[in-house]
Amino acid sequence: MRYPLASGSSRLTRVLGWSALVALALNTWWGLWLSPPDVVQGQFVRMLYIHPAVATMCYAGFGVCALGSVAWLWPRLRSPRWDRLAVAGAEVGAVFCFATLVTGSIWGRASWGVWWTWDARLTLTAILFALSLGYLALRRSIDNPHSRALASSMVAILMALTVVVDHYATVWFVTLHQNETLFQPDPTIHGWQLVTMLMSFLAFGLVFAWMMVHRYRLEVLEERYEREGFTSALEARRSEALPERRVEVPSR
Amino acid sequence: MWRDALVVAGKDLRVEGRSKVALNQVVPYSLVVLLLFGFAFDQDQPLLVQAAPGLFWLAVLFSGLLAVQRTFSIESADGAADSLRMSGLEPAGIFVGKVAAVAVQLLLLEVFLAGGIVVLFHSKLAGAGLLAASAVLSTTGVAAAGVAYGALSMGTRVRETLLPLLLAPVLAPVVLAATEAWRAALGFSSGDGWRWLGLLAGFTAIYLAGGVLSFGALMEET
């Protein structure tokens, strides 16, 4: 049986990985040296080149997880591929969610003076992170692949609803968090700031894609290990029993 | 479905009535939680009165976790879960029955806890209609989400620790809305407490519908 994507890397992933590194380097250079300080936020504006992009990748991860889960639940589309995609999205999403909380907290300390505030969007993001850890824990605790996919798909759809509420939290609730900067008819940033911010989206988007491909690959390998592990272990034990392969234990 | 629900709810409540686990363990536990809140706030009376609605709903959340775990642990012994699956009862009926049994136990516990915050925290209960309406809606929501997630985690190796991790973030909106409704009823906030009932009703409806639709598949798998 052939296992697609089961090798360590391919030309595509190497190109993806190197592009992500170059984009991150450019983002750091432009963000720290070329982009000017902000009129209002001063040097702290440089968090703008990390935090929004990281938060968007967090949403993207959970979005992929939800899409994969819905596709798996759909009887006509059902395939292990969707489940692999869902777990890859959730795990990468959880990493970016943690990074969102950390970078947001640092930015909050700089601009609001506190590491944490009881704001609707912050609180919902923290809850989303807890939900994603629950999702991953649920997956780890079920052995049967079908049961695992079914139970985790249901939890994933709930997580997706939280992402939607989270995104609109700044609109629906009274919040300290600023509104959208970029995706509006008249963006509030220009010049190097705008270019660097766009570069940050490209850089973290490439990192996200690279992590997704490798996490998907890992899932394929884990499935292969589950399927073939028992057979190979059995063969290893049998070969130990053959006289010519028996390992002599040296006597003291 | 409703007949099956009554059968299952009756069975679960009879099991609790005879084993008295809820009475002998969950009720004292919830009382200890209230006492510990008192220690945490250094018996600061005005602060305790202010925080009482939130502390009450946290105590309900903690006790609700125990009630949900209990409703599934009674099925795990002696292959009871398999018997339930093969009994011919409708899965939706089993779900609604289990939700009803957990909700009834929690509502009785809430009456006790309300007495607890009056005696221990010197809260003055007011706005009985809003208190009762929000309590019934929140409790049904807690029970519905609890039973749905309980079924999800039932077949797993680590269900005792997994259930709180899954359920606590999910129940966060219920704790928030119920606390705000109670704060408004007790006169601690100027907002209209009744509007929080919309959120509670929506949450409860989503989990009841989700549970009714998916419980069959969940029972088959776990």
Q: How confident is the model at residue A90 (pLDDT cuts 50, 70, 90)?
A: very high
Nearest CA to B222 out of B164, B165, B157 is that of B157
pTM equals 0.81
Say which of A142, A155, A158 has its CB closest to residue B156.
Answer: A142
For B120, phi and psi rounded to 5 degrees?
Answer: -80, -40
Q: Round to whole Å and give the CA distance between A124 and A119.
A: 8
- Return all residues near B147 (Cβ < 8 A) that are at least 6 apart: B68, B71, B95, B98, B99, B102, B211
CA distance A53 to A58: 9
Supply the pLDDT for residue A135. 92
Domain count of the fold of chain B: 1
Burial B20-58 (b: 16+ CB within 10 A, else e): eebeeebbeebbebbeebeeebeeeeeebbbbbbbbbbb
- Point out the residue among A133, A146, A147 whose CB comes nearest to the CB of B165: A133
* Residue B202 reports pLDDT greater than 90: no
Identify the pLDDT of residue B38. Answer: 86
pLDDT of residue A242: 66
Q: Indicate whether A4 pLDDT > 80.
A: no
Given a cut of 60, whether residue A245 has pLDDT beyond it is: no
Please count the residues of chain A.
252
Question: Mean pLDDT across the stretch A191-204?
Answer: 88
Residues 6+ positions from A130 with CB-CB distance below 8 Å: B165, B168, B169
From B26, B57, B67, select the one nearest B174 (Cα to Cα).
B57
pLDDT value of residue B127 = 80
Instruction: Band the pLDDT of B74: cuts 50, 70, 90.
Output: confident
Does the ipTM surpass 0.85? no
Q: Which backbone phi and psi does A152 adopt, to 5 degrees?
A: -75, -30
Q: Which of B158 and A202 is assigned the larger pLDDT?
A: A202
pLDDT of A206 > 80? The answer is yes
* Contact flag B162-A151 (C-beta cutoff 8 Å): no
pLDDT > 90 fraction of chain A, expressed in percent and rounded: 33
pLDDT at site A1: 45
Under a CB-based contact definition with an 8 Å cutoff, are residues A129 and A98 in contact?
yes
Query: Which residue in B152, B159, B172 is closest to A127 by CB distance?
Result: B172
**Domain residue limits at B120:** 2-221
Mutate to test the interface with B, among A158, A159, A164 (most CBs of B within 10 A): A158
Among B residues 13-72, those touching chain A with beta carbons less than 8 Å apart = none
B96 to chain A, closest Cα gap in Å: 19
Distance from CA of B217 to the nearest CA of A (A): 8
Q: What is the pLDDT of residue A252?
A: 58
Token readout for A185 is 């008819």
In order, the DSSP letters of chain B are: -HHHHHHHHHHHHHHHHHH-HIIIIIHHHHHHHHHHHHHHTTT-HHHHHHHHHHHHHHHHHHHHHHHHHHHHHHHHGGGHHHHHHHT---HHHHHHHHHHHHHHHHHHHHHHHHHHHHHHH------HHHHHHHHHHHHHHHHHHHHHHHHHHHTSTTHHHHHHHHHHHHHHHHHHHHHHHHHHHTTS-SS-GGGHHHHHHHHHHHHHHHHHHHHHHHHHH-
- Give the mean pLDDT of A190-200: 84
Task: Give the three-state DSSP class for A237.
Answer: helix
- pLDDT for position A66: 92
Residue B113 near residue B59 (C-beta atoms within 8 A): yes
Cβ–Cβ gap A127/B221 under 8 Å: no
Q: Which of A128, A134, A150 sits opposite B165 (nearest CB)?
A: A134
Q: Which among A154, A173, A174 is the top mutation candidate for probing chain B, defined by the most B β-carbons within 10 Å of its own β-carbon?
A: A154
Chain B: residue whose CA lies nearest to A127: B169
Which is higher by pLDDT, A143 or B222?
Answer: A143
Report how far Cα A143 is from the mean position of its chain's Cα atoms.
23
Of A128, A141, A155, the CB nearest to B156: A141
Q: Measured between alpha carbons, how far is B100 from B139 in angstroms, rounded to an integer?
A: 10
SS3 track for A187-200? CCCCHHHHHHHHHH
Q: Work out the minimum CA distance from A143 to partner chain B, whole angstroms.
A: 8
Specify which residues A38 forms β-bridges with. A42
C-alpha A101/C-alpha A105 separation (Å) is 6
The whole-chain average pLDDT of chain A stands at 82
The residue of chain B nearest to residue A123, with distances taken between CA atoms, is B172
Please indicate if any CB of chain A lies within 8 Å of the CB of B214: yes
